[in-house]
Structure 1
Amino acid sequence: MTMHFLTGLLFFFTSVILQAGVSGLDKSGHLQAIERPNDNGFFCAALENGVQLHVNGIVKNVIFYGPSTVRVNENLGRNYWQHPSIVVVSKPAAVPFKVQETAEYVAILSEKLQIRADKKTGALMFMDAGGRLLTRERAENHATIKQVDISGAPTYEVSHTFALKPDEGWYGLGYIDSAPTQINRRGQELLLIQTNMGIVIPMIVSSERYGIMWDIYSIMRFKDDAAGATLWAESAPGGVDYYFFAGNTMDEVIAGYRTLTGSAPMYPKQALGLFMSKERYPTQDRIVEVAKTFRKEQFPLDYIVQDWQYWGSDKDGTWSGMIWNPDRYPDPEGMIKTIHDLNMKLMISIWPSVGNDTPLAHELDQYNLRFEPLHWISRKARIYDAFSEKGREIYFKHINAGLLSKGVDALWMDGTEVEVGTACWNPNEVARDIKRLGNNAMGDFSRYLNPYTLMT
């Protein structure tokens, strides 16, 4: 066995090259293939924060984002992303590591992880510092990566498979309404599309004390059977792209996820109480009456919720324009003050579909920041482009002017699947409708199908 330490210089050993100052990433943080001295056989280069493997026409990065967190990204030598990740906020970490090589594998070792890459297939095995197997990519055909064109843009269709332990539990992928009570995903087959009742979070936590998060946003399918646990994605511009994080406890595993995606702030105490909502209060007098009744009856209510149509009708052009109907809500500030004086908070619903006759729509349209298809209820409203920084700036400017500045305490963001042609119960109809929107400010909706909720 030979051992190669990253020293900041360039050395040549058998098939491993140590490179100084090379990240293996482009300016957007995605895989960038480095030049190899020849096109024959297995090749491994040690990068600033990990290694890059070349095997069987595949280029594969294994990069440390922490002592027990690595990003694994493999494709055919080119990535087709135009923007950085919209999920991961952390950067590669300067984790001390060493590279060991045998005839069969290359090992990448940090203080807390051992990762072995098979030199024939590129498949990875993940172990803790003591050598205990955590999980592994399937030994044969662990990944299928096919370059395709969708909406005139190149991308990859991918599938990727892990070989799990027989008694291992896999938990996650969000709330999938087709399997609402089966929290262990072993033996399941799931379609991962954001719907009215389905929440897609492509992350798994294992009973073996590790987690995996795929940084992919398109339609996905998950299937676990005798062949392994496989995730398929329709459009993954970077190829197979996932983060592996391990820990001694489940808390440490979740900490790895939070470090990658950003710390979640603690909810305020008020959010932990009782909320009262119904299919809308029609006037400001009615919502105040209900709030006062709760206090009169000494019922411990923390929030009362104003649902839709406070702006006007579901058939006119005022849909979610961040405005109040002057006949039914003549004094929103006075209404909210009364609610606050009752030691109560107000939540209000807003939508990404914006009525055609509102100042918000007019300003968005100046920059072509609404999509053409009409909203299925109003028929006089269109979805705004939440993938545009300018679009979000305009949208939240009107939220502040029309709602927050009046005293509204919290926003209920409805219809963010994103709801276009239906109420978003059927995942296949949802995918069809979202793709009909065409391109957003970051690319086509095939590659950004699921994360509209994250962007708005």
Structure 2
Amino acid sequence: MNKKRIILFSFLLAGLHVTSWSQSYQKTDNGIKARIQGTDVEVQFYTPQIVRIIKAPAGSTAMEKSLAVIAAPQKKLRLVIGEEKDELTVLTQSVVVKLNRQTAAIRFYDKNAALLLKEKENGTHFSPSADPPLYDVVQTFQLEGGESIYGLGQHQSGVMDQRGQQLLLKQNNMQIAVPFFQSIKGYGVLWDNNSTTHFKDDADGTSFQSEVGAGVDYYFIQGGNADKVIAGYRQLTGEAPLFPRWTLGYWQSRERYKSQYETNEVVRKYRELHVPLDGIVQDWQYWGEDESYWNSTEFGNPRFPEPKKMVDSVHDHHAHIIISVWPSFGNKTKIYEAFKQQNLLFGKYVTWPINENVEVYDAFNPHARDIYWSYMNKNIFSIGIDGWWLDSTEPDHFKDKESDEAYQTFLGAYRKVRNAFPLIHTGGVYKHQREVTGNKRVFILARSAFSGQQRFGTMMWSGDVVSGWNVFRKQISGGLNLSLSGLPYWNSDIGGFFSGRNYPGGVSDAAFRELYVRWLQFGTFCPMMRSHGTDTPREIYQFGAKGDWAYDAIEKFINLRYRFLPYNYSNAWEVAAGGTMMRALMMDFPTDKKVLNIDNEYMFGKSMLVCPVTDSMYTSRANGNTAVDLKTIKKQKLYLPAGTQWFDFWTGEKLAGDQEVEKEAPIDIMPLYVKAGSIIPMGPFQQYTDEKKPDALEIRIYEGADGKFTLYEDEGDNYNYEKRICTFIDFEWNDKARTLTIKDRKGSFPGMLQNRTFNVVVVKKGNGTGMEVPGKFDRVITYTGKAVTTKIP
């Protein structure tokens, strides 16, 4: 750091406010404004770590209010502003911003004067757009050679590191556009533009180019690591609320259950088989098969004569139900007529089978969102439906693909706001339900998302993917990059949506059964575990009965999902507090260069290393027939990251990090490893998430390092947790002293356990790891809410 920067930081740390005036710039409450070479530039600090950069042609139209960003700049920030011949400098205790007074190019440094990111000289461009007086806008950055970046939504290209990629950020089935990336250097860039955007990284630089905008508008977030970058992103765009506990159970779905009897029978059958289940999904055409009544939000299909009775039956079986609702409506529906009378429709839509008498509502109009919810509330929510499957949230299937961008919305031409449709659409449902009741947490399953959508209680899924091993593997990097885009909740259709293309025999084909089992194992370690698809049914009993290899493997992993419920729900609380559940390896091992582009492993929470099996091992095809060989056990190669030791979850064997290993992977085993120093609570075997009280949790300790874990609990399905009506129990393992300390319980909630038992197991090879509950524990602790420490020899 040169002397001038040292002096500036010294002034800042001493609490002094340095001001340097010049005719060439203007000081603002949160930074500076300047006019350079015909461009108006503003540097605006939102927090000491977050900087907004605005650039526009001199005197042009002001920036419109952001749809993604909801934060306001902090008041009374301590800024230091310095003026040099060629540069203006604005800095806080965390970030230094330098603005070139000749070219308007900006550079960002950390507090130690290390360069983090710089704009390319003359890398800002404006040209006339199709929506005057707005512009086609471009900003190009120059990244360091070898610098890995992640995020940009979900793109099924099968890569983790987005360097060298060219991506069209335009909402579509199977492609989720989020104009945000973060760097392995510990910073992020949020490009605040709602129009179709082209991302490109090549020898000329790293650029965002948006088709419509008042100017360049982006946020630089300095975090130091991935978790803090995401925390900064959510500070700008909103925190992710906590989902109901039941959403962490197992979900069964199909395209589609064709009667209320069929829906209820699936739930009844799971209970009869004693296979855990918490959710059932009712897909489309409950409104009837005449497409003029498309998405009426009413049960018009005669096969659903008593919808409330259907919902009540699901609840009587201790399960929950969500239902499909679209953003488009047939021309004979009451809701269509309500929209049409007030000119609140904006685009012709093509459904299946082809029907052109369907139109999309203008979600950007607040009154249209009111009408949308009023019909959902009156016809669906009122009978007890627990959540929403908002399908086609892009939306896609417009009749006229060439001119759809010219459709007019409440906020202007659709081209200007198209990527934000899922954000506004889901936001309307979230806000309205919360106004109706706080006793039922909002749960939305959506196919698309945009910056900030995490604040609306939305779980994304990867779209209508095809059943296939290569597609399956690409789900992993797609979901991880979406998580690195700040949107923490994601899943995929277990087994792939379209099975008939590669597996016309469906569940009768052993090759499909193998793919389905492996995909379900992966789904066990996703934020939502949900089976869904078309062409062939997916319920567990379609795969045989107890004793059949596919059935047994499916049942084993569904049970494992429930055993991990205390761990998963505690991690869900961490998400609500700014964390990430499904974690790319670079988040926890940023200095291990071997992990930077690994696309088939990840952390689930900060303790579990997951390596899905994404290749066929036990079935083969020849002459149109499928052969099965389960006796010859195959192995899966995987890498154990450096800097820690690892325990094989299934055997308890301890292994060193920084090595590639081969793990035996019979059909009912997916490689799982636990980081040394982890403390993992495991719950009881149960049929649904609230069947049994967690009064005797198994606490697994993985020695070799000090460890901490916070067990989070609350009522499970209301918003009292926002008032801190919940509990936290901190566990700490001192590896050298071999002591476990369980601290005083913090907080309370109605119905909480006053006293409970913690059965402690220090995991080692052969002492009851994997799915088995040990017959003997290292310690049995009776806990009354007061701190206790025990030593384990």
Q: TM-score range by the shorter chain?
A: 0.7 to 0.9
Show the counterpart of 2:292. 317
Alpha-carbon displacement from aligned partner over 1:117-143 (angstroms, at most 9, x marks no partner)? 1111111110111111111111x2121
Show the counterpart of 1:258. 234
Distance in 1, matches of 2:279 and 2:236, equals 32
Alpha-carbon displacement from aligned partner over 1:173-225 (angstroms, at most 9, x marks no partner)? 10123x2x112110111111111000000000110000000011111111111
Distance in 1, matches of 2:63 and 2:38, equals 23
Structure 1 unaligned blocks of 5 or more: 18-42, 423-428
Match of 1:51 among 24, 32, 42: 32
Show the counterpart of 2:328. 353
Show the counterpart of 1:33. none
Distance in 2, matches of 1:44 and 1:82, equals 19
Distance in 2, matches of 1:286 and 1:248, equals 52
1:329 to partner: Cα distance: 0.9
Distance in 2, matches of 1:215 and 1:79, equals 18
Show the counterpart of 1:171. 150
Show the counterpart of 2:356. 379
1:376 to partner: Cα distance: 4.0
> Quick check: 1:446 aligned with 2:428?
no
1:249 to partner: Cα distance: 2.5
Structure 2 unaligned blocks of 5 or more: 426-793
Show the counterpart of 2:261. 285
- Given that 2:20 and 2:81 are in contact with CA atoms closer than 8 Å, whether structure 1 keeps it comes out as no
Distance 1:291 1:143, change over 3 A: same
Match of 1:334 among 309, 314, 320: 309
Alpha-carbon displacement from aligned partner over 1:159-182 (angstroms, at most 9, x marks no partner)? 1111111121110110123x2x11
Alpha-carbon displacement from aligned partner over 1:61-107 (angstroms, at most 9, x marks no partner)? 11011111010010102454684111100012221101111112111
Greater relative contact order (Cα 8 A, min sep 6): structure 1 or 2? Answer: 1
Distance 1:373 1:80, change over 3 A: farther
Alpha-carbon displacement from aligned partner over 1:330-387 (angstroms, at most 9, x marks no partner)? 1111110000111111011110001211221121122110125243433222100000
> Quick check: 1:217 aligned with 2:187?
no
Moved more, 198-207 or 113-122: 113-122
Moved more, 384-393 or 115-124: 115-124
- Given that 2:185 and 2:224 are in contact with CA atoms closer than 8 Å, whether structure 1 keeps it comes out as no
1:393 to partner: Cα distance: 0.4
- Given that 1:82 and 1:442 are in contact with CA atoms closer than 8 Å, whether structure 2 keeps it comes out as no
DSSP 3-state at the match of 2:54: strand
> Quick check: 1:232 aligned with 2:213?
no
Show the counterpart of 1:304. 280
Distance in 2, matches of 1:82 and 1:221, equals 20
> Quick check: 1:154 aligned with 2:136?
no
> Quick check: 1:132 aligned with 2:114?
yes
DSSP 3-state at the match of 1:449: helix
> Quick check: 1:409 aligned with 2:386?
yes
Show the counterpart of 1:425. none
Distance in 1, matches of 2:205 and 2:403, equals 32
Distance 1:135 1:372, change over 3 A: closer
Larger radius of gyration: 2
- Given that 2:20 and 2:83 are in contact with CA atoms closer than 8 Å, whether structure 1 keeps it comes out as no
The TM-score with structure 2 as length reference comes to 0.50
Distance 1:372 1:206, change over 3 A: closer
Amino acid in structure 1 at the alignment position of 2:336: A
Show the counterpart of 1:68. 49
Distance in 1, matches of 2:357 and 2:171, equals 24
- Given that 1:333 and 1:407 are in contact with CA atoms closer than 8 Å, whether structure 2 keeps it comes out as yes
Identity %: 34
Moved more, 412-421 or 256-265: 412-421
Distance in 2, matches of 1:67 and 1:268, equals 34
Distance 1:149 1:115, change over 3 A: closer
DSSP 3-state at the match of 1:448: helix
> Quick check: 1:182 aligned with 2:159?
yes
Distance in 2, matches of 1:123 and 1:101, equals 15
The TM-score with structure 1 as length reference comes to 0.86
- Given that 1:304 and 1:347 are in contact with CA atoms closer than 8 Å, whether structure 2 keeps it comes out as yes
DSSP 3-state at the match of 1:450: helix
Show the counterpart of 2:72. 91
Distance 1:298 1:198, change over 3 A: same
Cα RMSD between the aligned structures?
A: 2.3
1:266 to partner: Cα distance: 2.0
DSSP 3-state at the match of 1:299: coil
Distance in 2, matches of 1:364 and 1:125, equals 49
Distance 1:226 1:293, change over 3 A: same
